Structure 1
Amino acid sequence: MKGVYKQIILASASPRRKELMQKHGFDFIAEPSGAQEGNSSEDCLKTALSNAKLKAMEIAEKYPKNVVLGADTIVVLDGKLFGKPKDLKDAKEMLNALQGRTHSVFTAIAIILKSENIFKTAAEESRVSFKKMDLQDIENYLQKVNVLDKAGAYAAQEFGELIIEKIDGDFENVMGLPCSLLKNELGRIFGSFKIFLK
Structure 2
Amino acid sequence: MPLSAPDSLAARPRLVLASNSPRRRQLLTELGLAYEVRLREVEEDFPASLHRHEVAEYLAAHKAAAYAPDLAPDELLITADTIVCLDDDVLNKPADAAEARQMLQRLQGRAHDVYTGVCLLHGDGRQVVFSDRTQVVFRALSPAEIAYYVEHYQPLDKAGAYGAQDWIGMVAVTRLEGSYFNVMGLPVHRVWEELVKLGAVGV
> What TM-score, normalized by structure 2, do the two folds share?
0.88
Within the candidate set 128, 135, 140, 2:136 is matched to: 128
Letter in 1 for 2:150: L
Q: CA deviation at 1:21?
A: 0.6
Within the candidate set 98, 103, 112, 1:94 is matched to: 103
Q: CA deviation at 1:141?
A: 1.6
Aligned mates of 1:41, 1:174 — CA distance in 2: 23
Q: Does 2:85 align with 1:76?
A: yes
- Contact 1:39/1:83 (CA < 8 Å) preserved in 2? no
Letter in 2 for 1:178: P
For 1:173, the equivalent position in structure 2 comes to: 182
Poorly superposed stretches of 4+, deviation over 6 Å: none
Q: Could you list the runs of 5+ residues in structure 2 that have no partner in the other structure?
A: 1-9
Q: Could you list the runs of 5+ residues in structure 1 that have no partner in the other structure?
A: none
- Contact 1:92/1:138 (CA < 8 Å) preserved in 2? yes
Within the candidate set 14, 20, 26, 2:27 is matched to: 20
Letter in 2 for 1:92: R
Aligned mates of 2:114, 2:133 — CA distance in 1: 6
Cα RMSD, aligned residues only: 1.7
- Contact 2:12/2:201 (CA < 8 Å) preserved in 1? no
Q: CA deviation at 1:39?
A: 4.5
Aligned mates of 2:48, 2:174 — CA distance in 1: 26
- Contact 1:133/1:163 (CA < 8 Å) preserved in 2? yes
**Are the structure 2 counterparts of residues 90 and 4 from structure 1 closer, same or farther at C-alpha, using a change threshold of 3 Å?**
farther
The alignment covers a number of residue pairs equal to 191
Q: CA deviation at 1:40?
A: 4.8
Aligned mates of 1:173, 1:40 — CA distance in 2: 23
Aligned mates of 2:42, 2:12 — CA distance in 1: 23
- Contact 1:41/1:80 (CA < 8 Å) preserved in 2? no
Aligned mates of 2:197, 2:57 — CA distance in 1: 19
> What TM-score, normalized by structure 1, do the two folds share?
0.90
